[in-house]
Amino acid sequence: MDTQSAIVDLLSSLGQQVSLSKSDLDLHGQSESYFPPSPPDAVVYPETTAQVAEIVTICARHRVPVVAWGTGTSLEGQAQAIQGGVVVDFTRMNRVVDVAQADMTARVQPGVTREALNEELRATGLFFPVDPGANASLGGMASTRASGTTAVRYGTMRDNVLGLEAVTAAGEVIRTGTRARKSASGYDLTGLLVGAEGTLGLITELTLRLSGQPEAISAAVCAFETVTDAVETVIDTIQCGLPMARIELMDTDSVCAVNGYSDMQLPEKPHLLLEFHGTKAGVAEQAETFGDIATDHNGSGFDWATRPEARTALWTMRHNAYYAILAARPGARAIVTDICVPISKLAEAIEATRADLVDAGVPGPILGHVGDGNFHAILLVDTNDPTELSRAKAAADRMVERALALGGTATGEHGIGVGKLGYMTREHGAGWTMMGALKKALDPQDILNPGKLVPPRT
């Protein structure tokens, strides 16, 4: 690795687009999580795919790590340059290249954020449904295989990326997928790059599948006596084919936190928050069918509304729940867990997590995308107290062990980065070795986001 020569070449080739300022390096060494900072040696702001190819070519020549950066909102340290090297910040590649209305597709540069895209789509009758909490970049969302509250209806990034343009470890530009809605032509390279966290290539353009803005939307909220009642309601709802657009769980601790933070008066019980998309008659029918199912499972206070203000208040509360929970313990930092299990095991997984956290003395309100079997316990930790931090980490480990034992995964939507690397052997066995072989084939010098996702190069 010859970082200084790479920087010389980058400066000569990209001039003002290369930043070596300490504040910039420090900023790009941060993450949203509790991982230690790891500033890169340089940050480069490309404006074109050709410049990205040039950056990677230079880094390849000098065997210097290249790490892609969108908005820096990933939760497992995916964008941290843990072996130093060059961060490629896609902020300036933030153009919606085109929107094909009849095809319901859009081509975007990787730095476009999901909110910016939806702003641009507003007048078209279309929208891009995937919504992780943060206003993340679409390149970053693809790289981490992000999802969020709407995945139960619209799928994750895996389902909503039709094709990609990417720069390989050799600095070559490839195009994957097409603008057609399906293809049986060869290996699914699009699917391979989605979720690869920048370890196989740098995404320089995305072709996204868009959805039609629904004619009508209704939102609903319902309280339950127990988490099990709420989860059984979800299972019955899915089984009878109700196409919920969102179905979110908040446990009692989460409800208490949002009541205080968002000035709500929800009963201090587990709640489901829902949204239905469809025709006017359709959403009314869906909401009423759901109400009947909830009543069968001791649901109470069921209420649904189609007024936009009521919906906005509900989902603002939900999207702020993370901050509400953080505010519930001033000074604490969060370890955000992310397990996903078969839905039949969801109540068991949540109840066991709850009991374990009580035993461990770690506060951990639970929120979940329960239609997918995915939930987060937000472990609130005083990171200055090493024994507390280690108790919390041990509880997070046990959550993952439990998820895997129940047939689930260590991460439903946050990805691996550095935070979940330790679970890969346990989850994938020989499959993890296969991932290492794929990485070696496509990035023989190990320059693309090294130290992430695959086994350490021996």
Site for a second copy in 148-167 (CB under 8 A): 151, 155-156, 158-159
Site for a second copy in 1-60 (CB under 8 A): none
Q: CB of 188: closest distance to a second copy in angstroms?
A: 5
Residue 214 interacts with a second copy (CB under 8 A): yes or no:
yes
User: Between 49-61 and 3-14, two packed helices, what is the crossing angle to 10 degrees?
Assistant: 150
Q: If residue 139 lies in a helix (H) or strand (E), which one and from where to where?
A: helix 138-143
Residue 189 interacts with a second copy (CB under 8 A): yes or no:
yes
Q: 275 or 338: whose CB is closer to a second copy?
A: 338
Q: CB of 393: closest distance to a second copy in angstroms?
A: 19
Cα separation, 91 vs 139, whole angstroms: 10
Q: CB of 186: closest distance to a second copy in angstroms?
A: 5
Q: 102 or 263: whose CB is closer to a second copy?
A: 102
Residue 450 interacts with a second copy (CB under 8 A): yes or no:
no
Residue 352 interacts with a second copy (CB under 8 A): yes or no:
no
Cα separation, 364 vs 309, whole angstroms: 30
Cα separation, 435 vs 433, whole angstroms: 5
Site for a second copy in 279-298 (CB under 8 A): 279, 281-282, 285, 289
Site for a second copy in 115-154 (CB under 8 A): 125, 144-147, 151
Residue 195 interacts with a second copy (CB under 8 A): yes or no:
yes
Site for a second copy in 217-236 (CB under 8 A): 235
Query: Please, which residues have CB within 8 angstroms of residue 87's CB and are 6 or more apart in sequence?
Result: 28, 40, 42, 43, 44, 67, 68, 69, 79, 81
Q: 174 or 358: whose CB is closer to a second copy?
A: 174
Query: Please, which residues have CB within 8 angstroms of residue 372's CB and are 6 or more apart in sequence?
Result: 147, 151, 152, 340, 343, 412
AA letter at 377: A
Q: 318 or 420: whose CB is closer to a second copy?
A: 420
Q: CB of 251: closest distance to a second copy in angstroms?
A: 19
Residue 77 interacts with a second copy (CB under 8 A): yes or no:
no
Residue 275 interacts with a second copy (CB under 8 A): yes or no:
no
Site for a second copy in 383-422 (CB under 8 A): 403, 407-416, 420
Pick from 135, 130, 136, 138: nearest CA to 154 = 130
The interface region with a second copy, picked from 36-44, 188-196, 267-275, 311-319 by CB under 8 A, is 188-196
Q: 110 or 195: whose CB is closer to a second copy?
A: 195
Instruction: Give long-range contacts, CB 8 A cutoff, 24+ apart: 234-239.
Output: 234/272, 234/343, 234/346, 234/370, 234/371, 235/343, 235/344, 236/293, 236/296, 236/297, 237/290, 237/293, 238/343, 238/371
In 180-321, DSSP assigns E strands to 202-209, 211-212, 216-223, 244-250, 271-278, 300-305
Computed on alpha carbons and rounded to an integer, the radius of gyration of the chain in Å comes to 22
Cα separation, 178 vs 158, whole angstroms: 15
Q: 82 or 421: whose CB is closer to a second copy?
A: 421
Residue 456 interacts with a second copy (CB under 8 A): yes or no:
no
Residue 256 interacts with a second copy (CB under 8 A): yes or no:
no
Question: Using the rule CB under 8 A, which residue among 98, 119, 172, 292 binds a second copy?
Answer: 172
Residue 427 interacts with a second copy (CB under 8 A): yes or no:
yes
Give Cα 347 distance to the centre of its chain.
Answer: 23
The interface region with a second copy, picked from 6-14, 42-50, 220-228, 277-285 by CB under 8 A, is 277-285
Q: 275 or 388: whose CB is closer to a second copy?
A: 275
Q: 262 or 289: whose CB is closer to a second copy?
A: 289
Cα separation, 137 vs 204, whole angstroms: 12
Give the pair of three-digit tokens for residue 101.
């209305």
Pick from 224, 46, 207, 71: nearest CA to 134 = 71
Site for a second copy in 86-105 (CB under 8 A): 100-105
Residue 238 interacts with a second copy (CB under 8 A): yes or no:
yes
Q: If residue 287 lies in a helix (H) or strand (E), which one and from where to where?
A: helix 280-296
Residue 441 interacts with a second copy (CB under 8 A): yes or no:
yes
